[in-house]
């Protein structure tokens, strides 16, 4: 039964990171008089940035404090949904920003994401043993929050960064 919840959350996350993001960008582009800016995709990072910390804390605190099983299950489902949406939105933003070098940028983003996840997987069990699930998931919220907060400067300065880096990419 809990696998169904994860599957549903993954579908919601994939929908949010795919068709819903494309629809949102289309609406923003219409409002801008048909002028497309890759940073319009970053608006779709707001919902995951808001619900992601809740999912991690429900998971960690639910397991640590022996809350009803539905609490960590819902937390894990939220996290699954966010893990489907955020990479899709981020990678699409990178491809929109650097279309001529899309292959290379996708490779770098995927390698960085997977390297971080790989390294984190080795640290989790000793971390849980030392600090407990609640404290560890709190630090994960901090790490995830800092990463998701980079959306704000990218929205503000993304165009300028793209102009500056285009002389290196093209």
State the average pLDDT over residues 67-87. 88
Separation between Cα atoms, residue 127 and residue 103, nearest integer Å: 36
Q: Is 130 exposed, middle or buried (0-12, 13-18, 19+ CB in 10 A)?
A: exposed
Which sign does the torsion angle of CA 81, 87, 88, 90 carry?
A: positive
- For 1-18, b/e burial (b = at least 16 CB within 10 A) is eeeebeeebbebbeebbe
Q: What is the pTM of this model?
A: 0.82
Domain coverage including residue 164: 2-169
The C-alpha atoms of residue 59 and residue 9 are separated, in whole angstroms, by 15
pLDDT in tens, 146-162: 988 999 999 999 889 88
């Amino acid at each position: 039964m809990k696998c169904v919840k994860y599957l549903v959350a993954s579908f919601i996350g994939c929908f949010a990171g795919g068709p819903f993001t494309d629809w949102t960008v289309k609406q923003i582009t219409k409002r801008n008089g048909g002028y497309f800016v890759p940073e319009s995709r970053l608006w779709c990072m707001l919902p995951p940035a808001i619900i992601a910390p809740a999912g991690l804390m429900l998971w960690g605190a639910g397991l640590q404090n022996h809350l009803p099983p539905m609490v960590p299950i819902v937390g894990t489902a939220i996290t699954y949904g966010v893990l489907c949406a955020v990479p899709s939105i981020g990678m699409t933003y990178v491809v929109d920003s650097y279309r001529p070098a899309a292959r290379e940028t996708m490779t770098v983003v995927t390698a960085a994401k997977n390297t971080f996840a790989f390294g984190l997987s080795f640290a989790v069990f000793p971390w849980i043993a030392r600090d407990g699930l609640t404290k560890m998931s709190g630090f994960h919220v901090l790490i995830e929050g800092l990463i998701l907060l980079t959306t704000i400067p990218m929205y503000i300065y993304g165009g300028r960064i793209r102009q500056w880096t285009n002389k290196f990419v093209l």
